[in-house]
């Protein structure tokens, strides 16, 4: 019988893992099923571009996985039973109420990722926009298109997503009053060169920066900070972090308080050896015994590690032992500017940084490389047979 591998989620990590497994294992030995709710690949790192009116290239999964042997199931995951080794899904909407179906697995790759996190701030869920996925980005796109010149947009959150969104909006709509509210100083984790370039770009784009501004409430036309100040906002964009899908926390898997699955160095669940978790859904440790941050930069090598470990365990091969480490943080600052902050293995900024147009080109290559690392990229490795 074929060994049944089910991959949940076809973001960067799930798509890469499914494609890599297909290249490393014989089709006669394994049946790989990739479950995803949408038929097209979503380039999450480009959602700020989509929100500002740019059109992204369509990447249908059926084309991406054509000829790989991976079976694509368009369905929403509504439950996982790791003790019975089943996944409950609901198929595409059709006439009447969609019926739930169970998929059985021998090995599960959990890559359901994360969504936006309103941090429990009053009014955020009701009044703020988010770009953690395509639906949110499209809603923001429609709202921005209806804004008149001079109206205000406030981006809440000074992390990578907030920086990219604020600069993208300000560049695309110079007629708007764009502001960013950060709980600390602007780019306070960057090197002096990186911080200096960031401020230069923000000044050139006319973005108002509110530092040490912890937003404690969101209303339809303003946000309020911890010191009682208010910032006008016809549109509020919330970028203060991500929350993982709640399904894992409802299982008997060993998870953190926030619902991330605890894994070992091969991305294998520490409580259920037939489950692997990758990307934002997993808590994996990196250099210095520090948890890897939620990002594409973390998820891609996690997917490689998990796929190689699964293939090795099924074929009796050597387990991967590649260290998971960071090299840089890539930040787009609109279409013409960028910032590449070089970092230590455990993600701390060093003095070196690449800035300007060359950094923008570098970031674009990184974004394209994330897609090239998907199933569309072939491998010279010969597939391995599963040992009995």
Domain encompassing residue 72: 3-115+242-324
Whether residues 250 and 109 fall in one domain: yes
Whether residues 11 and 63 fall in one domain: yes
Other CB atoms within a 10 A radius of the CB of residue 359 amount to 22
Which residues, 6+ apart, have CB-to-CB distance to 62 below 8 Å?
39, 72
Q: Specify the pLDDT at position 369.
A: 74
Whether residues 87 and 154 fall in one domain: no
CATH code (residue 13): 3.50.50.60
Do residues 234 and 150 lie in contact, with contact meaning Cβ atoms separated by under 8 Å? no
Q: Specify the pLDDT at position 372.
A: 55
How far apart are alpha carbons 103 and 280 in whole angstroms? 23
| Residue 348 domain flag | no
| Residue 138 domain flag | yes
Q: Specify the pLDDT at position 367.
A: 86
Where do the H-state alpha helices sit in the chain? Answer: 12-24, 47-51, 61-64, 124-127, 134-145, 160-172, 192-205, 296-315, 356-372
Other CB atoms within a 10 A radius of the CB of residue 292 amount to 23
Q: What is the pLDDT of residues 108-123, one digit of tens each?
A: 999 999 999 999 999 9
Whether residues 304 and 315 fall in one domain: yes
Q: Specify the pLDDT at position 96.
A: 58
Whether residues 179 and 221 fall in one domain: yes
Whether residues 268 and 208 fall in one domain: no
How far apart are alpha carbons 214 and 374 in whole angstroms? 38
Local structure of 135: helix, strand or coil: helix
| Residue 189 domain flag | yes
Report the relative pairing of strands 261-262 and 282-283 from DSSP bridges.
Answer: parallel
Q: Encode 29-58: b = buried (16+ Cβ within 10 Å), e = exposed.
A: bbbbbbbbbeebbbbbbbbbbbbbeeeeee
Boundary-marking domain end, from 188, 210, 240: 240
| Residue 351 domain flag | no
Q: Specify the pLDDT at position 321.
A: 83
Q: Encode 209-229: b = buried (16+ Cβ within 10 Å), e = exposed.
A: bbeebebbebeeebbbbeeee
For residue 2, give Cα distances in angstroms to 5, 24, 27. Answer: 9, 15, 9
Number of domain units in the chain? 2
Whether residues 224 and 133 fall in one domain: yes
Q: Specify the pLDDT at position 382.
A: 47
Whether residues 219 and 153 fall in one domain: yes
Strands ordered across the beta sheet of 152-156: 208-210, 177-181, 152-156, 235-238
Whether residues 219 and 308 fall in one domain: no
Q: What is the DSSP letter of 192?
A: H
The answer to pTM > 0.85 is yes
Do residues 128 and 156 lie in contact, with contact meaning Cβ atoms separated by under 8 Å? yes
Whether residues 251 and 231 fall in one domain: no
Q: Specify the pLDDT at position 379.
A: 41
Boundary-marking domain end, from 240, 271, 292: 240
Local structure of 127: helix, strand or coil: helix
User: Nearest-CA neighbor of 351 among 160, 185, 159, 193?
Assistant: 193
User: What are the backbone dihedrals phi and psi of residue 356, each rounded to the nearest 5 degrees, phi first?
Assistant: 80, -155
Whether residues 280 and 206 fall in one domain: no
| Residue 376 domain flag | no
How far apart are alpha carbons 257 and 309 in whole angstroms? 27
Whether residues 137 and 101 fall in one domain: no
| Residue 126 domain flag | yes
Where do the H-state alpha helices sit in 86-191? Answer: 124-127, 134-145, 160-172
| Residue 282 domain flag | yes
Boundary-marking domain end, from 220, 240, 260: 240
| Residue 24 domain flag | yes
Local structure of 227: helix, strand or coil: coil
Low-confidence ranges of the chain (pLDDT < 70): 92-97, 370-388
């Amino acid at each position: 019988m074929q060994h049944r591998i089910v991959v949940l989620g076809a973001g960067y990590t799930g798509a890469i893992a499914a494609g890599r497994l297909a290249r490393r294992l014989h089709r006669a030995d394994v049946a790989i099923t990739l479950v995803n709710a949408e038929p097209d690949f979503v380039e999450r790192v480009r959602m700020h571009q989509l929100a500002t009116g740019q059109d992204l290239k369509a990447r249908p999964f059926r084309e991406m996985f054509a000829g790989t042997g991976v079976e694509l199931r368009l369905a929403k995951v509504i439950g996982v039973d790791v003790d019975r080794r089943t996944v409950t899904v609901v198929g595409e909407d059709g006439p009447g109420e969609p019926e739930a179906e169970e998929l059985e697995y021998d090995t599960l790759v959990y890559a359901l990722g994360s969504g936006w996190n309103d941090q429990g701030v009053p009014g955020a869920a009701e009044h703020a926009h988010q770009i953690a996925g395509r639906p949110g980005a499209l809603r923001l796109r429609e709202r921005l298109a209806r804004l008149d010149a001079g109206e205000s947009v406030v981006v809440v959150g000074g992390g990578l997503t907030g920086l990219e969104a604020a600069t993208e909006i300000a560049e695309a709509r110079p007629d708007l009053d764009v502001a960013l509210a950060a709980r600390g100083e602007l780019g306070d984790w960057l090197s002096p060169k990186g911080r200096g370039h960031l401020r230069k770009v923000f000044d050139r784009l006319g973005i108002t920066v509110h530092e040490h501004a912890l937003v404690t409430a969101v209303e339809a036309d303003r946000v309020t900070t911890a010191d009682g100040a208010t910032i006008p906002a016809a549109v509020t964009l919330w970028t203060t972090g991500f929350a993982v899908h709640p399904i894992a926390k409802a299982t008997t898997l060993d998870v953190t308080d926030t619902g991330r699955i605890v894994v070992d160095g091969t991305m294998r669940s520490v409580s259920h050896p037939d489950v692997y978790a990758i990307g934002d859904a997993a808590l994996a440790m990196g250099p210095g015994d520090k948890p890897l941050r939620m990002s594409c930069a973390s998820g891609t090598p996690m997917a490689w590690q998990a796929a190689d470990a699964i293939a090795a365990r099924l074929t009796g091969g050597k387990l991967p032992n590649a260290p998971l480490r960071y090299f840089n943080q890539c930040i787009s600052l609109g279409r013409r500017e960028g910032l590449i902050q070089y970092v230590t293995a455990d993600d701390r900024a060093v003095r070196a940084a690449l800035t300007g147009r060359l950094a923008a080109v570098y970031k674009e290559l990184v974004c394209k490389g994330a897609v090239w690392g998907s199933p569309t990229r072939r491998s010279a490795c010969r597939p391995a047979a599963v040992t009995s």
